[in-house]
Every structure is written in C-alpha cells, then in structure tokens.
Structure 1
Amino acid sequence: MRILKFILTAALAGAIALSATASPTDPKNGVEYKTLAAPQPVDTGKKVEIIEFFDYACPHCAHYDESLNAWVKKQGDNIVFKRMHISRSGTDLPQQKMYFTLEAMGLLTQDLHTKAFNEIHVNRNPMRRDEQVFEFIAKQGIDKQKFIDTYRGFGVAGRVRKSVSMMDAYNIDSWPMLAVDGKYMTSPTMADAEKQSSTTEAQLHEKVAQVLDVLVAKAKAEKK
C-alpha cells in the first residue's frame, strides 16, 4: 500500500513538473510569436512600444480587454501602450470612426472604451450605423454636434487611412493582435498555438501575458 502511495505521489509530482515546463517561458519564434520581416519605426525611446490591433465588434477583443488592461498596468513604466482600431477593406466602420473621434477629442478614457465594448456585446447594439454611434455618444454626456463635426472631419479620415497602412505594414489579418516594439507579433491564439483545442479563453489570456513578458524583456535588452 505504501509502495502504491509512493508511485501515485511521484506520478502527480511529475505531472505538475510537466505542466510547469509547458508554460511558454521560452516562446518560440514562428510559434508563440513571430518576427516581422520589416521592423517598423517606434518613437518611445527606451520604453517598449506595445500596439494592440483590435475591433470593437470582435467578441474576442472584448473578452481580452480586461486581461490586457491588467497586464499593461503590471508593466508600468516598462512600456508605452497604444491601440489601433482595425479597418476592413471597402467597408465603412462607424465603430472605428467613433474610436478615432474620441481619441481626437481627448475623450478616450478606459471607462468609455469598456462602455463601447459593452454597448455592442452586452447591450446588443452593433453600432454599425452612424446614428447608433451618435445616440450612444449623446448618452455619455458628450457634445453630440462637436462629436459629429469631428467624426466627419479630415482628421478622422486620415486616421482611418493610417489604420489601413499600419495593418499592411504589420501584416494584420486577425485580431486581437499585439505588436511589440515594431518587431514582434503575438496574440492570445498564437501564445498557445500547439494546444488550442484544450484551452479556455481565460487560459489563452494568461499565456499571452507570459509571452508578452518575454518579448518586452527581449525588446528592452535590444535597446541597450
């Protein structure tokens, strides 16, 4: 009986050790992340630039937002965090223009960013039409006419064009996707590329945080 207990204990310890080594503490290029063939310029000095490519209409982006915010807060002064709303070729995206309008007006708080996700995915308001966006904005206590004027202005149109060019430069074909210092790309799905079928979304978020930690450290070392 003692021998059987010893064998079971040893087996359990081995399983725990195997589980520990399975975490992406040493992510592989081409698997948990990829390196851009053409590095993109950054303007963040000694700090590491992180860009999230996202879509308000994407449920995975909405689910990831809280975990990503926690990771950004944990990184603190190591990084400069930016977001870029994706574009879709030949399609006008009012949600995207809303994001760039709020950004241009200096009103894009994390609270409002979360409310936009909730409006689409919890309240089931897709905001696929301009009028739906304007109604949502008015409910937030924002000057509706000023918002509309900015929304329809050249500045926002320029941001949409920039989104298209950045997606091309970073080879963005799915989201959420994260760019690390203009060199490395990863995502919750990529972070567990070899074991997707048995992983929950919450576990994917945890694993991509581990991959990002490694890539930030790598990028920071390369700046020295």
Structure 2
Amino acid sequence: MSRRVIPWTRAWVSLGLLCLSILSVPVATAENAPAVTLKENGNYRVVITDVKPPADGKILVQEFFWYGCPHCFHLEPKIEAWRKTLPANVDFEPYALPLSPNWIPLTKAFFAAKFMGVLPQTHRAIFDDIHVKRMRPVNKEQIADMYADLGVNRDKFLQMYDSFGVDNAVRQAEVVGQEAGVTGVPAMLVDGKYLVTGDMVGSNEAMLPVVRALIDKITAEKRTSASK
C-alpha cells in the first residue's frame, strides 16, 4: 500500500519552537559513561507533580515529547537503546505533552494509540512519517490515515481519538507539564519528582546518564528505608 503524503502547511512552520533547541553533541554512552555527580538545580530539578509511581514499587521514568519535535525524533534511537539497559525495577514510558494548542492533535493520537494497545507498532513509525517522509498532519482525518497505513483500524482509532478517556489524558498531561514547569521537549521526569532537561545538562543525549544516576539514587534510598 502506498503511504499518503500529507504536504507541508503553514500551520507546521512555527510548531517546533517549543522543542528545546539543544544541539546534539557527542556524549558518553550508557556503556562508557563516567559517574555522574548529581547537583540539585544544576543537572536536575526537584518538582512536585501528581504523577503516581507504579503500584508495584517500580521507579517510573517518563520521556516528555511531541511527535512533531525534530529534537525528540533525533533522540528516539538513543532512547530505544538506553531503555534496554535500565534495571528491572524501572518502568519507562514515553509521555506526550501538549505545550501548545497546535500540539493537541498529535498528543491525542499518542494517547489513542496507547489506549488501543498499538503504541509499540506505531510510536517510532509516526516519528518516521513526520520527519523522514515529511508528512504534516493538521487534523484528525489526516492523522487517522497515517495510523490506518500502519495497520490500525481507522474507524476504531477515530472513535478512541474522540473519546472522553483521551481528552481526559490530554488534560492530565497539560497539568503534569505545568506542575513540572516544562517549557520545551524533550525532557524527562523521574518518579514524578525529578525533572531533567537538555538545557540543564548541555545536550539532549546527556539527560540519559543523569536520569540513570537519579534511578540509582532512588534505588539506594529505597534500600536504606527498607533496611530500617
């Protein structure tokens, strides 16, 4: 089946302004990264959000992103490799944030795919559609076409897209972004209380070893608490 090409439109010209314009520079990989010294208000910030850690006691790591963000797209392969190195006590999830009203359609698409259980097969593909194939969806019909071409039932997708559950999830995402003080993506939130952004650490890739250090910090604190 040939993929539909959604042309560039004026609506997309300014949509990427809230993506953090941090240049991608060489940093240590997970395999050879030196020890990271955590510094509050330096390479991470403590925030207060209503994000609830998993009930099983695991540490929740969320990657804040938007499908239209080129920086998120370029970080995605590194995220995919890095998440495979995470310990078993960590739950990782991408989390779309609607930092602009124009971001809402693709944010709704993310949650619709998540609730339908098709996120694993569509997440990277949607990034590729937008940034490699240069598709520029601006409404739900165009977005539904993209997902249909990926094997998702179009009618069921549109039904989920317009559902109360998806609308509620988008509203909750807006609140989380506001609570955490997120002004651009990509960014990462650890256990709902530690925010790491590219501008804090010098590059988007450099967030990953800092997040891993925060995971280690929380793990050690839990062990200490459990031993008392």
Same fold (TM over 0.5): yes
Other-structure match for 2:108:
97
Please, which runs of 5 or more residues in structure 2 have no aligned partner?
1-32, 224-228
148, 156, 168: which is aligned to 1:138?
A: 148
Structure possessing the higher radius of gyration over alpha carbons: 1
Other-structure match for 2:21:
none
State yes or no: 1:125 paired with 2:124. no
Deviation digits for residues 115-139 of structure 1 (CA, Å, limit 9, x no counterpart): 1001111111122222210111111
- Cα distance 1:78–1:116, how it changes in 2: closer, same or farther (>3 A)? same
Q: CA deviation at 1:222?
A: 2.0
Q: CA deviation at 1:185?
A: 1.0
Aligned counterparts of 1:135 and 1:185: Cα–Cα separation in 2: 35
Q: CA deviation at 1:91?
A: 3.9
1:75 match: secondary structure:
coil
- Cα distance 1:31–1:23, how it changes in 2: closer, same or farther (>3 A)? farther
Q: How do 1:62-211 residues align onto structure 2 when only pairs under 5 Å count?
A: 62-91=73-102, 93-109=104-120, 111-192=121-202, 204-205=204-205, 207-211=206-210
1:142 match: secondary structure:
coil
- Number of aligned residue pairs: 191
Other-structure match for 1:11:
none
Aligned counterparts of 2:50 and 2:157: Cα–Cα separation in 1: 35
Q: CA deviation at 1:37?
A: 5.2
- Return the structure number with greater helix share: 1
State yes or no: 1:50 paired with 2:90. no
Asked whether the equivalents of residues 65 and 97 of structure 2 are also in contact (C-alpha less than 8 Å), the reply is yes
Deviating 4+ runs (over 6 angstroms): none
Asked whether the equivalents of residues 24 and 191 of structure 1 are also in contact (C-alpha less than 8 Å), the reply is no
Please, which runs of 5 or more residues in structure 1 have no aligned partner?
1-21, 193-200
Aligned counterparts of 2:51 and 2:103: Cα–Cα separation in 1: 26
2:98 match: secondary structure:
coil
Aligned counterparts of 2:127 and 2:111: Cα–Cα separation in 1: 15
Aligned counterparts of 1:106 and 1:71: Cα–Cα separation in 2: 23
Other-structure match for 2:16:
none
Q: CA deviation at 1:187?
A: 2.5
Aligned counterparts of 1:63 and 1:102: Cα–Cα separation in 2: 21
1:113 match: secondary structure:
helix
Instruction: Name the Cα RMSD after superposition.
Output: 2.1
* TM-score for both structures, normalised by structure 1: 0.77
| AA matched with 2:71 | H
53, 60, 65: which is aligned to 2:71?
A: 60
* TM-score for both structures, normalised by structure 2: 0.76
1:74 match: secondary structure:
coil
- Cα distance 1:179–1:51, how it changes in 2: closer, same or farther (>3 A)? same
Aligned counterparts of 2:51 and 2:156: Cα–Cα separation in 1: 34
Q: CA deviation at 1:40?
A: 4.8
- Percent identity of equivalent pairs: 29
